[in-house]
Amino acid sequence: MELLVDREQELGLLEREYREPGFRLLVVYGRRRVGKTYLLRWFCRGRPCVYYVAAELPYENLAREFSLAVRDTLGLPVAGDVVEVLEALVRLHRGGDKLVVVLDEFQYLVEADPSLPSRLMRSIDTVLRGSEMVLVLCGSSVSFFEKRLLGYQAPLYGRRTGQLKLRPMMFWEAWGFNPGLTAVEAARLYGVAGGTPAYLALLGPSASAERLVEEATRPGSPLLDEPVWLLRQELREPRTYLAVLRAVAEGRVEPSEAAHAAGVDPRSIGRYIEVLEELDLVERVRPLGRRRPVQLRFRDNFFRFWFSFILPLRSLIESGAVEKARRVILEELDSYMGRAFEETIVPQLATRMIDRGILPVEPRQAGPWWHRGIEIDLVVRSPGKATAFIEAKWARLSVSDARRVLARLEEKAGETGLASPRNYYVLVARELDEPILEEHHIAVDLEWLHRHRVVEPAASKTV
């Protein structure tokens, strides 16, 4: 049985492109493990499709392999260059259904023959444009696709009819892999595994935060070295990027601090951060309404977890003291979850609360706020109309505890200069004894949000 969890929007884009008459050129990319190949193979089910995955080989080998893939799949007698085979398909393919051709890991084809994009451009303009074909260029090298394939000066610029950057899943999408988990269990798992489908699938039906800890510390597990391997696949020299990520995990969140810890000239740290942003690993954030200071935050929770625990404990794990390493991680997990909950889960939950009408604020501006030791986890506002000040707490709180947090939040909000005619003070906690649902003061927990269908596991499809 095959399972596809959510990806409704992404699949919808592919389906719309397929239904459009004439030739379509789709570019699908994203870092490794996010599910590009799985999504495209699902899309190709029941359709005439040639799916070819390139490798780091000489171009002649790749062209021969592609010809064999066409012959094996469609039974058509083709041979020659990749572009020549595509043009032959236009002449030879018969049938009412549109033909789908997927060139996966397309960057390897271009590395083997840098002239391929230019030759493909000419073929699109002269031959392929008149066909009923969907050509999908897919790959994992984010920098290649964004700069050399989609950039303004790239040969194929202006020829694509659609593009899709596949990203890790949101909290409720990832929850769809294990819908039997409680909301708290699902949040804890998302806090350590993030939204990368391959990691969630690896954990299987018994997935939990504890299971992730067990797998990531198991000698021989792919997760033990996953960040290093992924960065080596994407970058020529990953060492500096690894050092920057380690610095952020250690709390050196200002770019100059991270540069110093990583041994990088602060004047050049920006280009390293830019690459990590392209890979959806970190992001630069500023206090809402202010340009400075800048802080670095993890966007990917598995990388946050790995650099917070697995890298520092690597010597312990390799010495055979695996159980001791696991105990250290589990003892510190709730403390670690505070940041993951605040920075990745609650901003997503706030969006759902707005969509469901719980927070009557139009989200024109959103982001954290901090200044001189005062911090607010998230501020969402429609300037001149309404502002929601939101606090995240990965803890179990009594009603009196929750009211104290809301009162302090209201005090801090007065320091921001972001107040509006209508202001809302909101607490999202892991667990609450009782919710608070007043006109301007709201305190809810994960189970309340689940019970009221603000957030629930994404639906899945099976075949």
For residue 236, what pLDDT is reported?
78
For the residues 258-272, what does the mean pLDDT come to? Answer: 94
**Rounded to two decimals, what is the model's pTM?**
0.92
pLDDT digits (tens, 9 = 90+) for 62-73: 999 999 999 999
Report the pLDDT value the prediction gives residue 237, as an integer from 0 to 100. 82
Show me where the domains of the chain are located.
3-165, 171-343, 355-451
Q: Round to whole Å and give the CA distance between 134 and 47.
A: 11
pLDDT of 93 reads 85
Average pLDDT, the chain: 94
Interval 18-61: pLDDT, tens: 999 999 999 999 988 999 999 999 999 999 999 999 999 999 99
Segment among 226-240, 259-273, 364-378, 413-427 with least mean pLDDT? 226-240
Find all residues with CB under 8 Å of 458, minimum gap 6, and list them.
Answer: 5, 6, 169, 172, 173, 175, 176
Return the percentage of the chain with pLDDT > 70, whole number. Answer: 98
**138 Cβ contact partners less than 8 Å away, ≥ 6 residues apart:** 27, 28, 29, 36, 37, 40, 102, 103, 104, 105, 106
Strands 162-165 and 24-29 turn out to be parallel
Q: How many residues appear in the chain?
A: 463
The confidence score (pLDDT) of residue 3 equals 59
Comparing CA positions, the residue from 337, 349, 272, 346 lying closest to residue 309 is 337
pLDDT score, position 254: 96
What is the dihedral sign for C-alpha 166, 170, 173, 179?
positive
The fold adopted by the segment(s) 3-165 is Rossmann fold (3.40.50)
The one-letter amino acid code at 370 reads W
Is the CB of residue 228 less than 8 Å from the CB of residue 290? no
Give dist(CA 409, CA 347) in Å, integer: 17
pLDDT band at 427; cut points 50, 70, 90: very high
CATH code reported for the domain at 171-343? 1.10.10.10
Say if residue 218's pLDDT is above 50: yes
Q: Is the pLDDT of residue 1 over 50?
A: no
Confidence of residue 337 (pLDDT cuts 50, 70, 90): very high
Confidence (pLDDT) at 462: 60
